[in-house]
Amino acid sequence: MSAGGDSGKWRALVLTALAVVLTLSTWFSATSVAPALTEALGLSEAEAIWLTNAVQAGFVIGALVSSFLSIADIWPMARIMAVAAALAALSNGALLLATEPWHAVAARFCTGAALALVYPPAMKFISTWFRTGRGLAMGAMVGALTLGSAAPHLVRALGSGLEAGTVIAVTTAASLLAALLFWFLREGPYPFSRAKVDPRQLGAILRNKPVMLANLGYFGHMWELYAMWGWILAFATSASLAGEWALNASMLVFFVVALGAPSCVFAGLLADRIGRCTTTALAMSVSGLAALAIGVFFTGPIWAFVLVALIWGFTVVADSAQFSAAVSELADQSLVGSALAFQMGIGFAITLLTVWLIPQIAEITGTWRWSFAVLAIGPALGVVAMLQLRKHPEATRMAQGRR
CATH of the domain at 166: 1.20.1250.20
Task: Please give the tally of structural domains in the chain.
Answer: 1
More confident residue, 60 or 5: 60
Q: For residue 157, is pLDDT > 70? A: no
> What confidence score (pLDDT) does residue 38 get?
82
Radius of gyration of the chain (CA): 20
* Averaged pLDDT, 54-66: 86
In this predicted model, which residue has the larger pLDDT, 175 or 158? 175
CB 116 within 8 A of CB 63: yes
pLDDT (0 to 100) of residue 130:
87
pLDDT of 3 reads 40
Most confident range, picked from 95-104, 161-170, 310-319: 310-319
C-alpha–C-alpha distance, residues 152 and 376, integer Å:
26
Which DSSP string corresponds to 263-326?
Answer: HHHHHHHHHHHH-HHHHHHHHHHHHHHHHHHHHHTTTS-HHHHHHHHHHHHHHHTTTHHHHHHH
pLDDT in tens, 273-319: 899 999 999 999 999 999 999 999 999 899 999 999 999 999 999 99
- Is residue 3 one of the residues assigned to a domain? no
Q: What are phi and psi of 34, to 5 degrees?
A: -55, -45
For residues 158 and 119, give the distance between their C-alpha atoms in angstroms, rounded to a whole number. 29
Q: Is residue 340 part of a domain?
A: yes
In a domain, 296, yes or no: yes
Amino acid at 5: G
| HSE-CB for 343 with a 13 A CA cutoff | 35
Domain that holds residue 23: 9-401
- The span from the CA of 194 to the CA of 133, in Å, is 23
Question: In this structure, what DSSP letter does residue 191 have?
Answer: P
C-alpha span between 222 and 323 (Å, rounded): 11
* Percentage with pLDDT > 70 across the chain: 91
Q: Is residue 392 part of a domain?
A: yes
CA 263/CA 197 separation, integer angstroms: 37
Residue-wise DSSP of 337-389: HHHHHHHHHHHHHHHHHHHHHHHHHHHHHTSSTTGGGGGGHHHHHHHHHHHHH
Which runs of consecutive H residues, i.e. helices, occur in 159-200? 164-183
Maximum Cα–Cα distance across the chain? 61
Position 155 confidence tier, pLDDT thresholds 50, 70, 90:
low
Q: What is the dihedral of CA 186, 192, 197, 200, to 10 degrees?
A: -150
Asked whether residue 25 carries a pLDDT value surpassing 90, the answer given is no
The better pLDDT of the pair 204, 323 is held by: 323
In a domain, 93, yes or no: yes
**pLDDT above 80 for 204:** no
* Residue 151, in any domain of the structure: yes
Question: Is 1 domain-assigned?
Answer: no
Q: Which of 212-221, 245-254, 392-401 has the lowest mean pLDDT?
A: 392-401
Residue 1 has pLDDT above 60, yes or no: no
- What band does 370 get if pLDDT is binned at 50, 70 and 90? very high
Would residue 210 count as lying in a domain? yes
- Of 16-25, 176-185, 253-262, the range with the highest mean pLDDT is 176-185
Instruction: Compute the mean pLDDT over every residue in the chain, rounded to the nearest whole number.
Output: 86
